[in-house]
Amino acid sequence: MSTQNHHTPEKILRVEDVTVSFDGFLVLKDLNFSIERGELRVVIGPNGAGKTTLLDVITGKVRPAKGRALFQPKSSSCQDVTKLTQERIALLGVGRKFQTPNIFKSQTVLDNLHLSAKASRRVLPNLIRFSRNGSSRIDEVLETIGLAPKASNIAGLLAHGEKQWLELGMVMLQDPELLLIDEPVAGMTPRESEKTGELLMSMAKKHTLLVIEHDMTFVRQIAQTVTVLDEGQILCEGTVDEVQRDPKVIQVYLGPDRELLAT
């Protein structure tokens, strides 16, 4: 986003030759993938294509058998995240919204946000922090995700869509440079999806987003560039229209028999 250098826009993430194998089965094969800073990239692909695994590699949950993933934070040096711990990567500036809502079900909405807010992650300082009151930032986020009236509710009792939003709120508070969003609108109504889309697009102004989704309406709403993943490799990259017209993509999604064209 800095306009100082007019070189090619900086790559915030470069995945190079990454191969991930689960007991012999290759989930990602020599994958090369990159995102530029400030992009909103959507990744689609059939089930089992390796999309979530890609996110796992970036966040350090899964170690690739070979390859590396270089993350370039704004104000420090480039790092290979395949060699870092999950928490270190998160602190470096990578946030993630998981496929199923990963929130703290036994705590209140407010407490959930509290834990995500930017504050020391170290053990000792947290031993003497007691206050549960919100900062203005937390209040802002509460408004944005629409959960202000439910701040004292137990998160586990929220509706599915609300849980997704809560998680998004948590990620927003974490304020990472790179946000990885895994199926944000799964199980949402069209109206909720639209709202989520707006949310994401407003976040995209100041962050880099990598979104995994299946819902093509939603993809249309938000996507700039789309990457299609299949069987651990990139099939195609381009705008939504380009990708939808690509014969390889059609074959992979719909099978060789074109009569199955449903959606």
Partner 1 sequence: MTGLLEALFNGLSLSSILILAALGLGVTFGVMRVINMAHGEMMMLGAYLGYVCTNPYGLSVFVSGLASLARETAKIFGIHWEPSWQTSIELHWNLYLVLPVVFVVVGLAGYILEKGLIRFLYGRPLDTLLATWGVGLILQQVIQLIFSGNPKGVGIPENLTGQWTYADSRFPYYRLFIIAFTILCLVLVYVGFFYTSLGLKIRAVTQNRPMASAMGIPTSQVDGLTFAFGTGLAGVAGCILGGMYNVGPNMGQDFIVEAFMVVILGGMGQLKGVVAGGLMVGVSRGIAEKFYANALIPNLFPKYIEEVFSPIARITVLALVIGFIMVRPSGLVRTKERVYD
Partner 2 sequence: MTEPANKKDGANHSTRSPALALPFLGNVKVKPGVLVAGFSVVLLLAIPQLFPPGIDAKSKQNWLDLFAKFMAMGILALSVDLVWGYTGLLSLGQGVFFGIGAYMIAYCLTLHKAAQDARPKMTEGEPTTVVLHYQGNFPSPKTVFINDGKYRIDSIQFRVLKASTPGLTAVLTKLPAASLDPDTAEQIHNDTLDLTGPVGKVQPMVLKGEIAEEKILRRLEEEGDRLYLEVTGNGDRGEGEFTVVLIPEIEEYMRPGEVPPQFMQYTGFAPNDPNYVPPPGLALIAPLGNAGVAVAASLILPALIAGLFGGVIFRLGVKGVYFALVTQAFLMVVFLAVRNQQRFTGGVVGIKDMSSLELFGQSFDSAENVRATVYLVAAALVGSYFICALLIRSKFGRILSAIQDNENRVLALGYTTALYKTAVFAFAGLLAGLAGALYVLANHPVCDTVYLSVPFSIEAVIWVAIGGRGNLFGAVLGALLVGFGQYYVSSALPEFWPIALGLLFIATVLFLPRGLTPVAGPGALLGLLLGVFLVIYLEKYNLFDAVDQYLGVGRRGRVFVGCPIILLSVFIPKGLTMLFKALMRFSPGRAMPTGSVSPVPGS
Residue 158 near residue 150, CB atoms below 8 Å: yes
Residues in 15-74 that interact with partner 1 by CB under 8 A: 20, 22-23, 52-53, 56, 62
For residues 64 and 56, give the distance between their C-alpha atoms in angstroms, rounded to a whole number: 10
Residues in 74-93 that interact with partner 2 by CB under 8 A: 85-87, 90-91
Residue 94 near residue 59, CB atoms below 8 Å: yes
Using rule CB under 8 A, residue 130 touches partner 2: yes
Q: Applying CB under 8 A, which of residues 29, 79, 144, 154 lies at the interface with partner 2?
A: 154
DSSP state string for 106-154: TSBHHHHHHHHSSS--SHHHHHT-------HHHHHHHHHHT-GGGTTSB
The SS3 of residue 75 is: coil
Is the CB of 57 or the CB of 147 nearer to partner 1?
57
Using rule CB under 8 A, residue 148 touches partner 2: yes
Q: Least distance in Å: CB of 156 to partner 1? A: 16
Of 92, 95, 63, whose CA–CA distance to 79 is shortest? 92
The option from partner 2, partner 1, none interacting with 59 (CB < 5 to 8 A, set by class) reads: partner 2
Structure tokens at 247: 């014969």
Q: Least distance in Å: CB of 152 to partner 2? A: 5
For residues 78 and 55, give the distance between their C-alpha atoms in angstroms, rounded to a whole number: 18
Q: What is the binding site for partner 2 (CB under 8 A)?
A: 59, 61, 85-87, 90-91, 95-96, 98, 102-108, 110-111, 114-116, 119, 121, 123, 126-134, 138-139, 142, 148-149, 151-154, 170, 174
Q: What is the binding site for partner 1 (CB under 8 A)?
A: 20, 22-23, 52-53, 56, 62, 98-100, 102
